[in-house]
Structure 1
Amino acid sequence: MKKTVMIVDDQMGIRMLLEEVVKAEGHEVMTAENGKDALDKIKQKRPDLMLIDYKLPIMDGPTLLTHLEEQGENIPAIMMSGLVEEATLHTERFEQVKEVFAKPFDVDEAREHINRLLREES
């Protein structure tokens, strides 16, 4: 069954790279440049998994997660950051954050984690 993965990152290169990885696995992709954009798109269609950059313009990753939590949306998420320790510290209270990726990340590792989480959540 096709799953939908939302990629929330302000860097177009990272969005495009992850989009290729996810599509190659046969899943649908939604993208957003910031947390506000992501919230608007989630109202249209709820993804099965989210890959969220920790530091984003307008609305950052933790703020996005807080809004989703307040709306009762428990969408599994992977947080991505160049500041892994800081990101881990600021997202450990969120039940929906299943992992924190260090940026830059290994594409094959990312693919494995995404597939595993999609399997676990179905």
Structure 2
Amino acid sequence: MTTILIVDDDELFRTMLEAMLRKEGHQVLSAVNGSEALALLESQSPDLIMTDILMPDGDGIELITALNQQQRDIPIVAMSGGRRTISLEFNLESAALMGVKATLPKPFTRDSLRQVLADALQG
């Protein structure tokens, strides 16, 4: 069973994604921001991390940077819906430049989620 850590400050979205992943047979951990995710990673070792980019108290870019500095070899999927002043394309391109395994624009379909997870977990 694959364990996936979801990092997203939007409670409704996080709950929906948790349900989708559990229905697909995954074990799910969750954190509301990058700081909470880093604390959780001290005791947990997920197979994959799915992180939003824009969050208060430790955004996705800070989380990706910290994981790169720690040389943690956990595949990361960056997600973003953008904001008024920053486009989702900019957010996802920034994450891709930092070496994430995949990017996923919000909103997304169950099929695109399955494909991104398959690609990211391939190695």
Q: Deviations over 1:3-44 (max 9, x none)?
A: 100000001111111111111121110000000000011111
Maintained 8 Å contact 1:21/1:111: no
Q: CA deviation at 1:103?
A: 1.1
Give structure 1 regions of 4+ aligned residues with deviation exceeding 3 angstroms: none
Alignment of 1:26-105 (within 5 A): 26-83=25-82, 84-95=88-99, 97-105=100-108
Structure 2: segments with no counterpart, 5+ residues: 83-87
Matches within 5 A, 1:6-21: 6-21=5-20
Structure 1 counterpart of 2:73, one-letter code = N
Q: Following TM superposition, by how much is the alpha carbon of 1:107 offset from its aligned partner in structure 2, in angstroms?
A: 2.5
Distance in 1, Cα, partners of 2:12 & 2:89:
23
Aligned length: 118
Identity of aligned pairs, percent?
Answer: 36
Q: Structure 1, unaligned stretches of length 5 or more?
A: none
Query: Which of 35-44 and 17-26 deviates more?
Result: 17-26
Match in the other structure for 2:4: 5
